[in-house]
Amino acid sequence: MMMQLLVSLSENLVLTTENFDKHQVKIVKFCNAWAENCPEFEPIWASFASEQKDVQVGEVNCDFQVPICSKYQIPRIPYVKLFIDGEVYDYMGVKNSSAALSAYVQFMLKPQFVFTDIQSCEQLYRSNYFVLYTPQLENPSFKQFKGSINLCTIKSDTLKFVSINEETEFYSGDYSPESLNYFVKMAMLGPVPEYTHESAKKLNLKNVSALLLNSFEHQELIQQLKNGSFNHKNEFNLVWANGHLQFMFGFGVEMNEIPMGVVFNEKEGKIDSYFKKKYEGGDAMEFMNQFVQEVVEGKIPLTKVERGRRHDEL
């Protein structure tokens, strides 16, 4: 249950280290004096602030409140975060509409709030969002996504989950939290993403299965992975990795050995063991399915890394 506001609301409170924690429910704009976009955002934010009755609206000047901006890892300016009873959510909607900000607050504060049609979702997010059509508004399987993805909920007689991006993707499968999480993750990264520093941040670095290859020579293999069906998607992440000396050195792979399949886990920022198998031809997805199955069945020997290498060094 949401906590009561500790103090009365003011229209747009200037927040500092002294008063930042006084409001348990607040939406905060992070700006500074030199960012060009902050003045453009100001009238939209002011209009939004004047309409709010259920949440404290505030702003932080990152020039003077460095400890706050550092604590909450503000990636760019302007930026908006919502704070609800100790939980912190990043606002990922458009910033040129006070109505979009208001709709976001309503959705986050009132889980039963739903959009009436897909056009309302488009107005809020424009692109790269998910739509949940559901007869049960409090579907527990979807609570894990609150605040982490752009999600619209629409009342419907049937349950359907859709990713709206460059290509509309309809979810098909069981509605367990694990399966839904995999669908969301892959929809955000794209089918069979490249393993990079950025994608590694979004992937759960447990049970990563990768095909090491040369992206210039092996485009056909990449396409086979993207077009195929991975049999172990609930237990393993599937990626392809552009082979380079530093990456392959971590797995004891020579240039003339790629393509090579590897399965590894990350522990405390390091890869301490892995499985590997040489690709000998045929469909790339069939190879990865067979390779991972052999790993699961214990048919591939585990290789220990004598000195664990950090995944961002690979």
The SS3 call for residue 9 is coil
Percent of the chain whose pLDDT exceeds 90: 22
Sorted by where each begins, the domain ranges of the chain are 13-105, 112-185, 191-313
Q: Which CATH superfamily is domain 112-185 in?
A: Glutaredoxin (3.40.30.10)
Task: Give pLDDT, residue 139.
Answer: 73
Q: Is the pLDDT of residue 274 over 80?
A: yes
Q: Which fold has domain 13-105?
A: Glutaredoxin (3.40.30)
Edge-first strand order for the sheet with 151-155 is: 151-155, 129-134, 160-164, 169-170
pLDDT confidence of 144, banded at 50, 70, 90? confident
Give yes or no on whether 13-105 and 191-313 have one common fold.
Answer: yes
Q: Which fold has domain 191-313?
A: Glutaredoxin (3.40.30)
Return mean pLDDT, the chain.
80
What confidence tens digit (pLDDT) does each residue in 27-71 have? 999 998 888 888 889 999 999 998 888 889 999 999 999 999 999
Euclidean distance between CA atoms 53 and 269, whole angstroms: 44
With beta carbons less than 8 A apart as the criterion, state whether 185 and 202 touch: yes
The SS3 call for residue 183 is helix
User: pLDDT higher for 146 or 13?
Assistant: 13
Task: Give pLDDT, residue 10.
Answer: 55
User: pLDDT higher for 141 or 284?
Assistant: 284
pLDDT confidence of 4, banded at 50, 70, 90? very low
Task: Give pLDDT, residue 205.
Answer: 55
192, two tokens: 């069979």
With beta carbons less than 8 A apart as the criterion, state whether 139 and 177 touch: no
Task: Give pLDDT, residue 314.
Answer: 42
Under 8 Å CB-to-CB from 31, ≥6 apart: which residues?
A: 38, 41, 59, 60, 61, 62, 77, 78
Euclidean distance between CA atoms 304 and 224, whole angstroms: 30
User: pLDDT higher for 229 or 165?
Assistant: 229
Task: Give pLDDT, residue 185.
Answer: 74
Task: Give pLDDT, residue 171.
Answer: 85
Euclidean distance between CA atoms 59 and 14, whole angstroms: 5
Cis geometry, peptide bond prior to residue 75 (ω within 30 degrees of 0): no
Euclidean distance between CA atoms 11 and 49, whole angstroms: 6
3, two tokens: 């906590």
pLDDT confidence of 242, banded at 50, 70, 90? confident
